Amino acid sequence: MALLTWNDKYSVGVPTIDAQHKVLFDIINSLHDAMMKGQAQALTGPLLHRLADYTNTHFTSEEGKMSAAKYPGLAEHKVKHRNLVKQVEEFVLRYDKGEIALNLQLLNFLRDWLTNHIQKEDLAYSPSMVKLGLH
């Protein structure tokens, strides 16, 4: 069973960003699936690194669209992105050093920051981008 299930409440109305959010959902679900199947040891490292890399890629893309839409909250949103990236990268570093293992606490943190960020922070820029027809 998936930890996260995509539905329209997560859509920001910009297809490329929705597609990127779905990839993030898939990575977190893959981490959850690996843990549930007892494969966390073998798969967690690569999946956490993929999550960190893709998060950076997604945030760069999203910030570019916010800039194009002249979204007034861009500077504040960038700070939130940097904080999220820092937290994910810290998890990856701690995992790589053997300090932490993949567990429900980590998965719940990842789930919560992604869903809360989309539903609160990202939905705030949605009208600006949709109005301009950004895809």
> For the whole prediction, is pTM greater than 0.85?
yes
pLDDT at 8 over 90: yes
- The range of the structural domain enclosing residue 125 comes to 13-132
Asked if residues 30 and 54 have their Cβ atoms less than 8 Å apart, the reply is no
The candidate with the shortest Cα–Cα distance to 58, out of 132, 108, 121, is 121
Domain count, the chain: 1
For the stretch 46-89, pLDDT in tens is 888 999 999 999 999 999 999 999 999 999 999 999 999 998 88
Residue 54 lies in a domain: yes
Q: What is the pLDDT of residue 43?
A: 80
Encoded tokens for 108: 């719940």
Residue 1 lies in a domain: no
Is 3 within a domain? Answer: no
